[in-house]
Structure 1
């Protein structure tokens, strides 16, 4: 589990090629097409450095200006 301090550091640098924030996962994300898109995104995030991508759930991007942690 990611610590509070780790989350704050990640939020400071924001989303990048290897960091993705998602407000929440829903049943719609389990549907084949959406699930395949998520898998592709995670593979892309980790292709250069396996196990180095960060996919955080519970953080919402608000107009690219600020992050809301839920």
Structure 2
């Protein structure tokens, strides 16, 4: 899991590692396993670095028709 650091700031590196592991694994338990730490340790780091997890879902909505269109049927 290569990560490119913009600086040698240890806190920034720790935050990036946690975020990358969470996105890759999808759950706190699996991310902690990837990092080789306990889930409690990962939870402490999530709080420490103010990482938003789980990420808010993007809900795709479609426009709602106010009046459903009826098929046009020729009237005889």
Q: Of Structure 1 and Structure 2, which has the larger fraction of its residues in strand? A: 1
Assess same fold via TM > 0.5. no
Pick 1 or 2: higher relative contact order, CA cutoff 8 A, min separation 6. Answer: 1
Superposition TM-score, scaled by structure 1 size: 0.28
The structure with the largest alpha-carbon Rg is 2
